[in-house]
Amino acid sequence: MHKAYKISILYLSLFTLLLLVSGYMIFELKIGFEAQRALSYYMGDKEIFTVAKSNSGILKLALPHIFGFALLSMVVLHFLIFTKFRNRVFVKVILYTILTAQFFEIFSPFLIINISEIFIYLKILSFFIYIGLIPIVLYLLFDSIAQIKFR
């Protein structure tokens, strides 16, 4: 593996971690991790003067997230092909779990406002699964490049 490739993985990992930390902070500030607080974000709350989200409002938020999540996944997860972990079953489980968590992270608000408020737990759980598994993938990448000496 070339030195430039290793350095690019390190930079990508650093900025991905910064992205995850900022995403965590924004989620906590804007939506919240308590079910009732997150529910009031989507369903509205007369006491704090918030309006319920509409399908079009959620779609406006979902569209850039679809692109961002897809791009981040493609870049970070494809690097696993070049590691010693590429043929391991646990890597496939991590990949499919991340993709499923991303899907529910983006589309669970539609379930919340159109079907049932119980899906708020799916929203919060998928967020934590996603934000928890990406650092594991970054660790696997770092572990793989740390094993190979720089040329």
Tell me the pLDDT tens digit for each residue of 64-106: 999 999 999 898 888 888 788 888 899 999 999 999 999 999 9
User: Which residue ranges make up each domain of the chain?
Assistant: 3-147
List, run by run, the mean pLDDT of 10-residue segments along the chain (151 residues): 77 92 95 92 88 93 93 88 84 93 96 95 96 93 73 45
Burial of 98-134, coded b for 16+ CB within 10 Å and e otherwise, reads: beebbebbbbbbbbbbeeeeebbebbbebbebbbebb
- Token readout for 39 is 């529910």
